[in-house]
Structure 1
């Protein structure tokens, strides 16, 4: 028995030596934060390998998986963000970086479909022109935690159509369903779009294989993305989710928070805000946004 224990101790010592050698290799960094992050990463990664006793075949499969994720990523699709999302890493990062204030609007995942330089629109304009779906009017107010309206705050929005597709997912796409605007002197904003629909995250790549292996759903509940920026305040990245959606309790990327679930009220055809006359049913959502001050 002593020989068995000696062998186990030697094995642990060999494994510990590898970890300490790699950690030590980052101690030459002149950036303390870099050293901290990399040292912790190495210890946790090595700990995972030791915990599950990772086999060479499994290591090869992991490398092949990451290689495929890189190969499928392009300017319109970010497989690594999807991977981060379905592993809950995105939401954990959101959580540890959210302002510790219960009076500010909660943040959630960024998602893989943001596009820089979305068009500027005037308040009340329609960003869903040409998109399929029920017309939807969204309005609200951006304030600080003291309730004061924030004039000139940049409100960026993007959403999918009734089929659950974003503009960038269509071949030869033109930008639609996304824009940015600035709040008025009272912090108010409004725009027209189309009623968002639930949709599956892209699952024809390695992340989809991961979900299928776990028999997990790829579905996200219907939502509209927001990014709100105002000088002196913490930038907010969030969604509003459609109340009653069947996937609220099983979001593939764990992004739903109860405070972000919003009623989309259905209206009959006829006169609508901003001088619109709508010949079909349309919906309305109110989303008031509270930004936390920078620390």
Structure 2
């Protein structure tokens, strides 16, 4: 994962210019030529085989202009040192055709590498834009929920309706918590136990709530309904169930079906209470 991030960041960075670019280009030409020279006794018929990877790496990390210079330099040195008759540039038509095919292959490699560079840059730009939109949407949703909560407080002024106001405010808080999880901008954030912790946090006095189950990712459309359902169960437990007693305990267990270690399958949740009032 660290290697992937390093490569991605390098692809997104600006290619070096000036002296640094010249040094990189010279190295990308000289190193494969020296390696090919050291291996010459075993591969006399393959003058350019070592140069292709260096052209690819140059195209990915230095850009298409530098990679084109690397390709031309490798073609010249490969023809001069490793194609018979040696130490002559383009001695015959066979050499010219070989060099031409090498350059054509390098052009295809450079074109593909440049396409990859631009695709990675475009994906990163869109990801940043989506993250910005997500933060803006989250801010607006929070403001809207605050307005709804304020309107509810103005509406339920009658003391007799205080319980209804508390219930409504609790549901708004649960909805806001689920929205925070979905709006974090990170893929796979709708997961257990995170959403259960957020939804049940106001009710977890002195460790009264026990969560047990594997970490698993949920479908995003299930996030808000699950948060609201857990909040409703906890509210009923406070009013009528185990959480209405000092020693009452509530357990939330979940497991995947089938439990084969994958992230795909059905999820079974079990809500249990003990230590509550007699029924």
TM normalised by structure 1 equals: 0.23
> Which has the larger share of strand?
1
Which entry has the higher C-alpha Rg, 1 or 2? 2
Q: Relative contact order (C-alpha < 8 Å, sep 6+): which is higher? A: 1
> Which has the larger share of helix?
2
